[in-house]
Amino acid sequence: MATTKGNKRVYLTWTDEMDAALLAVLVEHHNNGDHAQNGWKPHVYNAAIRNVREKCNVEITKDKIASRCKTFDKHYEVISKILSQSGFSWDWVNDKLLIDSDDVWNKYMEANKSAACYKNKVVKNWDAISTIYSKDHANGQGAQTGAESAQVLPEQVDDASPDLPQKKQRTGEAILSILEDLKTSFNDSLKSTEPLPMPSVTSPAEILVTLQMVLDLARSDMLKSYGKFILNERLFQALLELPMDMRKEWLLLLN
């Protein structure tokens, strides 16, 4: 990345430490819903500039942050598409794609030649990037902020306790609510000649990609969770509302 200073071009090389300092701020403010219509709110850029300066002793600008964010966005767009296909997973140790075989990769390349450089590309901080840039599959309009999420959640009882028994109770209530909705829909269909509409559900591939993003989740726990979410759309949506650092603990409690 180059900027002009007088008659000289000043180049900025982003290091792993600078990326980590920038993404730490973006994840925090993403979880707080600090998004503007066309990017981040001004105080987010100021916080990122300050954190990179304190942690790395490097001065950056809003424009340089925006440019770096475009790179992160491209990484997410390409890698998440690959991970949604069978035969691919994420290597959390080496920070790159884990491919079942050359045949799997070659088959994918037949229709996606532009992604060729990602076969062995190291992309660090994938957990943070996927948290910030994951798309809202329900409406296709980009990441849903925490504030937006709060507006669409059903009302909760004010005196609900946050301990484990209450969580299990709410899960049971959610299942009963789904069954009641299905029963009502079925009964209504009997009174009409209109066909029963199919409920909108997340694809198995999207569920698998989301679980693969959870750090250090054992294979057996991933499979248990996969089985639950295939059968229960509301449980999967509840997982998406949790910050990335809370998902593993919740999945283990759920299993």
Binning pLDDT at 50, 70 and 90, where does residue 228 land? confident
Provide φ and ψ at 172, rounded to 5°.
-65, -40
pTM for this prediction: 0.53
Residue 24 is which amino acid?
A: A
Q: pLDDT value at position 9?
A: 59
Closest to 232 (Cα-Cα) out of 181, 156, 162:
181
Task: Considering only the C-alpha atoms of the chain, give the largest distance between any 2 of them, rounded to a whole number of Å.
Answer: 78
Q: What is the mean pLDDT of the chain?
A: 78
CA 182 from centroid of its chain's CA atoms = 29
159-165 mean pLDDT: 44
**What percentage of the chain carries pLDDT values higher than 70?**
70
The mean pLDDT of 20-44, rounded to a whole number, is 88
Task: Using the predicted structure, report yes or no on whether residue 166 has a pLDDT greater than 50.
Answer: no
Confidence band for 238, pLDDT divided at 50, 70 and 90 = confident
What is the Cα–Cα distance from 41 to 5, expressed in whole angstroms? 27
pLDDT classification of 214: cutoffs 50, 70, 90: confident
Q: Report the pLDDT value the prediction gives residue 176, as an integer from 0 to 100.
A: 67
Tokens of 113: 């030649």
Contact, 185 vs 197, CB < 8 A?
yes
Rounded average pLDDT over 96-114: 94
Q: What pLDDT sits at residue 147?
A: 33
What whole-number distance in Å separates Cα of residue 135 and Cα of residue 20?
21
Mean pLDDT (whole number) for 225-251:
86
Residue 5: the pLDDT is: 55
| 79-94 average pLDDT score | 94
Which pair of tokens denotes residue 133?
């840039």
| DSSP state, residue 60 | -
Inform me whether the pLDDT recorded for 62 exceeds 80.
yes
Helix (DSSP H) and strand (DSSP E) numbers for the chain: 11, 6
Helix axis angle for 62-83 and 126-133, nearest 10°, is 90
Average pLDDT over residues 10-29: 90
pLDDT at 161 exceeding the cut of 70: no
> Which of 135, 140, 145 minimizes the C-alpha distance to 34?
145
Q: Compute CA 94 distance to the chain's CA centroid, rounded to the nearest angstrom.
A: 20
* pLDDT score at 22: 95
How far is it, in rounded angstroms, from Cα 193 to Cα 218? 48
CA triple 201-202-207, angle to 5 deg = 145
| Model confidence at 64: pLDDT above 80 | yes
Q: How many CA atoms lie within 13 A of 189 on its CB side?
A: 11
- Rounded distance, CA 12 to CA 6, Å? 16
Q: What per-residue confidence (pLDDT) applies to 149?
A: 35
Residues 73 and 26: their CA atoms lie apart, in Å, by 13
**pLDDT for position 59:** 95
Instruction: Give the burial class of 71: count Cβ atoms within 10 A of its Cβ; 0-12 exposed, 13-18 middle, 19 or more buried.
Output: middle
Mean pLDDT value of segment 171-191:
64
Query: Region 50-65: what's the mean pLDDT?
Result: 94
